[in-house]
């Protein structure tokens, strides 16, 4: 996230010089961070469900929550 903000500093400066408010810039940065976080959560949940089923097939007597 810090890398993304530091690499877009010039863009943010141009946006502010063209009339963007400080809140608009904050919304842009936070929105980008939230998108990344939600994508990570979605991929993590999907991978954990898939791996739960895989591990349940490999272990004798263990059942997943989603039989």
Residue stretches of the chain with pLDDT short of 50: none
Looking at residue 67, its pLDDT comes to 54
Round to whole Å and give the CA distance between 8 and 14: 10
DSSP secondary structure of 8-63? THHHHHHHHHTT--HHHHHHHHHHHHHHHHHHHHHHHHHHHHHHHHHHHHHSTT--
Looking at residue 58, its pLDDT comes to 80
Looking at residue 15, its pLDDT comes to 93
Looking at residue 24, its pLDDT comes to 93
**Cβ pair 48, 59 in contact under 8 A:** no
């Amino acid at each position: 996230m810090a890398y993304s903000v530091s690499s877009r500093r010039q863009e943010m400066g141009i946006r502010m010089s063209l009339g963007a408010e400080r809140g608009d810039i904050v919304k842009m940065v936070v929105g980008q961070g939230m998108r990344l976080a939600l994508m990570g959560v979605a991929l993590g949940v999907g991978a954990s469900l898939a791996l739960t089923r895989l591990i349940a097939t490999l272990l004798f007597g263990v059942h997943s929550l989603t039989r």
